Every structure is written in structure tokens, then in C-alpha cells.
Structure 1
Amino acid sequence: MRALLHNLTREGRWIPWLFVAFFLVVFAANGIMVTVALSTWTGLTTETHYRDGIEYNRRLAAVQRQEALGWDVTVRSETLENGVLDFAVAVTGPEGQPLYPDRVAVAFVRPTSEGFDSRHELQLRADGSYGTFVDLPLDGVWDARVTVEEHGRRHQSGQRLFVER
């Protein structure tokens, strides 16, 4: 019996090393995840968070003024065969009549990475819409932020697009 217990304890010496190995694997995995998380920071932050908070009521009032205009801004986008995006905006008034604003612009913003944003002025087309052709540098998700201005009044809207060539 004593020999049997002696053999079990001798053969069981590796069991505590299993616990050590387990925790080494856990620490290594956590270290890799922390390193990847810190090295892939996209920089999505704002340095004006305090001022943005103070201006919150002003932004709410601007949204109410925009809704009172009654404008309907419809966005249409289509990726052409050559990979260029055909982007168009139609603006209608409260009674559904087409509006011809002084200025229509769009800003394409990449929500997940910096350095690829672009702004474009849209031109009046024969069908009454405003449009432009844009060659976006990357496939994937883009935010199109449309600004329509007419006689000092402004309407802003946004739409998320998925561009695939």
C-alpha cells in the first residue's frame, strides 16, 4: 500500500504544473489582446466634449427648426461598373413640390478609420436632383452627411452607405 501511494505521488508531480501552465496561457492571451487593442486604436474621439455638451440645447433647437421646414431630402446612391459611386439627392418642400436650393453638399465620412473623408458640392441634374460621381478610396461602410442650404435656411441629414466594387 505504501508503495502504491509513493508511486501515485511521484507520478502526480506534474499536476501542479498543469495549473501553472493554464495560468500562463491565460496571461499570454490577455497580454496579446491588450496589445492588439492598444495598437489598433482608431482615434474615434472628440476633444470638444465639454463644449458639445454645453451646445446640446442649441443643437436641439436647430433640429426643431429643421423639422419645421418640412423639407424631404431623399438620397440615392448606386455603384457603377467602374467602381465609381453615383450619388444623388432630391429635395422636396412641405407640399411635395421640388425645391432647388442654393447649395447641396455631401461629406463622405469613414466611421471606422481616419484620413479618408471627403467633401463634394453636388450639381443640379436634368431630372431635378443634385448629384456627383465619387470614387471612394475604400470599400465598406461610409456615412454620407448631406447639407442643403436655401436662403439662409439649412437642412442636414445623414445616411449610412455600404460601398462594394
Structure 2
Amino acid sequence: MTPLLQNLTRDGRWIPWLFVAFFLVIFTVNGIMVTVALSTWTGLTTQSHYRDGIEYNRRLAAVERQEALGWDVAYSSQTLEGGTLDFAVAVTGSQGQPLYPDRVHVAFVRPTSEGFDSSHVLQLRADGRYGIFVKLPLAGIWDARVTVEEHGRRHQSSQRLFVAQ
């Protein structure tokens, strides 16, 4: 054994180097994790977060107006052959009567990734429901955000759905 190794082993001078090595590993792993975290997701779910915060009370009033309408929006979705989604919406009024609004709109939003969202206007079907056949680009979880408009009144709701391929 060389004299240097004998001195390190006998005197215990190698123990502080274990602490240095330990903390170097910790700092390296933390640095990698911070870099990955900052480069993969912005953390923002909306581009107008400041304005949304200021308009919070106005949004609460809109929710109260929507609830006062008494509309019921029922969804149905089915994945057909080839991954095509049959999405339909039935709208009923406060007394349970079917409503035929001026416009029914759906936005399909992928909650786990950006760049795949799509927006569609639903068409009235023979059975009184509004619907669309759409091929979404990815299988999995989607949020269907439906907006119903009738004579200047608006009802917004959302439904989480699973699309098989």
C-alpha cells in the first residue's frame, strides 16, 4: 500500500471527502430536476390570469344567472369504429321541456398536453339532440366544454370523457 493511502486510512482523513461527495451528488440531482421542471411546463393554465382574477366577481354573477335559468344539459358520447367519437347534447328547460337553442358549441380540450384542442358547432339531429361525429387526434382523457346559447342567454358546462382508439 502506498504511504498516502496508509495515512488516509489510519488518520480517517477520507471521512470528510464522503460528505463532499454526498452533497455533490445531491446538488447535481437537484439541479437536473429543477432544469427539467422549468423547461417542461409553464405552470400557467390561461394567458389572461391577471384579468381573470380581476373579473372573478363578474364570473360568480354569471354562474348565478346560469343556475337561475334552470337548464339541464345532458351529454352522451360513444367511441365508434376507427376511433370516431359520437358526441351529443340534449338541452331541457326548467320544466323539463326540450329546448332548441340558437347555437350549441363544444370545445374538446386535452388536459394533459397542449396543441390538440379543437372547437366545433353541433348540429341538430332528428332525435332533438345536438351532436357531432369527430375524430380526435389522441386516445385518452378529454374535457368537452359545451356552450349553449339561446336568445342572448348562455349556459356553460363541461364533461370529462374517455376516448378509445
Q: Same fold (TM over 0.5)?
A: yes
Q: Distance in 1 between the 2:54 and 2:30 partners?
A: 39
**Matched residue, 1:84:** 84
CA RMSD in angstroms, aligned pairs only: 2.1
> After TM superposition, where is structure 1 displaced by more than 4 Å over at least 4 residues in a row?
6-9
One-letter amino acid of the structure 2 residue matched with residue 58 of structure 1? R
Q: Distance in 2 between the 1:157 and 1:126 partners?
A: 23
SS at match of 2:106: strand
**Matched residue, 2:41:** 41
TM-score (norm 1): 0.86
Residue 35 of structure 1 and its aligned partner are, at CA, apart by 1.4
Moved more, 12-21 or 89-98: 12-21
Residue 158 of structure 1 and its aligned partner are, at CA, apart by 0.8
TM-score (norm 2): 0.86
1:102-117 matches, within 5 Å, as: 102-117=102-117
Q: Deviation per CA, 1:112-158, whole angstroms, max 9, x where unpaired?
A: 32221111011111221111011111222221110111122111111
Q: Distance in 2 between the 1:14 and 1:103 partners?
A: 76
Q: Deviation per CA, 1:78-135, whole angstroms, max 9, x where unpaired?
A: 1122111111111111111111111111011122322211110111112211110111
Q: Deviation per CA, 1:26-82, whole angstroms, max 9, x where unpaired?
A: 111101101111221256343423322222222111111111111000111111221
Any stretches of 5+ residues in structure 2 without a counterpart?
Answer: 1-5
One-letter amino acid of the structure 2 residue matched with residue 40 of structure 1? T
Q: Percentage identity across aligned positions?
A: 83
Any stretches of 5+ residues in structure 1 without a counterpart?
Answer: 1-5
Structure 1 position 16 matched with structure 2 position 16: yes
Contact 1:90/1:130 (8 A) holds in 2: yes
Contact 1:42/1:113 (8 A) holds in 2: no
Q: Distance in 2 between the 1:27 and 1:77 partners?
A: 49
Closer, same or farther in 2 for the Cα pair 1:62/1:8, shift >3 Å?
closer
